[in-house]
Amino acid sequence: MLIVNKEQSEIQKLKTLLSKRFQMKDLGPAKVILGMEIERDRTQRRLGLFQKRYLTKVLERFDMSEAKPVNTPIAHHFKLSVSQCPETDEDKRFMSNPGKAHWQAVKWVLRYIRGSHDTGIIYGCNNRSSEFQVEGFVDSDYAGSLDTRRSLTGYLFTIGGGVISWKSNLQPVVTLSTTEAEYIAVTEAVKEAIWLKGLVTELGFNQKQVTIHCDNHSAIHLSKHQVFHDKSKHIDMKMHFVRDIINSGGVSIEKISTEDNPSDMLTKSVPGHKFAHCLGLINMRKKMKETCP
């Protein structure tokens, strides 16, 4: 059980109450929870989450402990498609039906884990704001799926500079422009922002508005203004609830450069230097005391 409270006296009161009713052992400050190792730097007011032990076991399980490491989870040249799967009836009996390219992609992921298993998320290392505030980033590719030509949505949210929520998935429909693809991505990010805003408010933090950063000017304009023209008039009305949320003041959509948008790595395979830059933007680091960006 993990007990959290601002007041040490309240924590002790709950411990005393529980010990009277249940047989329990006080393990002191949390060091491991759900397979994650917790590290603290109280002088800098930082907290880090790592999974080195678990990832080491994964590598050992698949005999990849001595594999040559790589610096991205998917190679920049990989383009996976169902057309790369085996085609015989015998092969199709297997539910996963992987082809050689898919097997190589999985091994690449394990090689990435080999080189990054000691990387963690650092909270409290943020020059944007010292406040406990949720901040979002969203991006989309355009028609990136080789099989369906649907676009890929990617978003992530941070608190104290460290990522707390993220998602990367295919959009439900085929879009006809980059603006439409980005607008659908913004819609999904706003839905997540509403939930996160309610969560942190319930935890006792004052979150008046969640700022979501997007690198597409047209999508931002469409989310704020009622515009009808050939490129947007066909967009499903359910996507336009974003305008109501923005008008209510619960969420704001702001422009950010692609270079400073960490969600870019969730929509496409990017080169190693770009991927490392995106990780730095959300404070994924190997050491607690690394310098803040």
pLDDT of residue 42: 85
Instruction: Flag residues of the chain having pLDDT under 70.
Output: 77-98, 126-131, 226-239, 289-293
Report the alpha-carbon distance of residue 193 to residue 164 in Å, rounded: 12
Q: Is residue 1 part of a domain?
A: no
Cα 19 from Cα 26, distance rounded (Å): 9
Q: What per-residue confidence (pLDDT) applies to 95?
A: 44
In this structure, the answer to whether residues 144 and 274 fall within a common structural domain is yes
Token pair for 256: 């950010």
Q: Quick one: 92 and 196 in the same domain?
A: no
Q: From start to end of the chain, where are the E strands?
A: 32-33, 36-41, 46-50, 120-123, 134-140, 152-159, 162-170, 210-214, 251-255, 284-285
User: How does strand 152-159 pair with strand 162-170?
Assistant: antiparallel
Distance CA 257, CA 250 (A): 23
At residue 264, the pLDDT reads 96
Name every residue whose Cβ is closer than 8 Å to that of residue 176 and which is 6 or more positions away in sequence.
231, 234
**Shared-domain flag, residues 132 and 95:** no
CATH number reported for the structural domain that contains residue 178 in this entry: 3.30.420.10
Give yes or no: residues 44 and 139 share one domain: no
- The reply to whether 174 and 213 lie within a common domain is yes
Domain enclosing residue 93, as ranges? 52-116
| Three-state SS at 189 | helix
- Is 292 a member of any domain? no
Residue 232 shares a structural domain with residue 220 = yes
Let me know if residue 184 belongs to a domain. yes
> In total, how many domains does the chain have?
3
| Whole-number CA gyration radius for the chain | 22
Question: Global pTM?
Answer: 0.85
Sign of CA dihedral 223, 228, 229, 232: positive
Q: Work out whether strand 210-214 and strand 284-285 pair parallel, antiparallel, or are unpaired.
A: unpaired
Phi, psi dihedrals of residue 210, rounded to the nearest 5°: -100, 125
Q: What's the pLDDT at 87?
A: 47
Residue 103: per-residue pLDDT? 82
Q: Are 262 and 278 in contact (CB under 8 A)?
A: yes
Q: Give the per-residue pLDDT at 93.
A: 37
User: Both 102 and 169 in a single domain?
Assistant: no
Q: Please tell me whether residues 22 and 103 are part of one structural domain.
A: no
User: Is 223 in the same domain as 271?
Assistant: yes
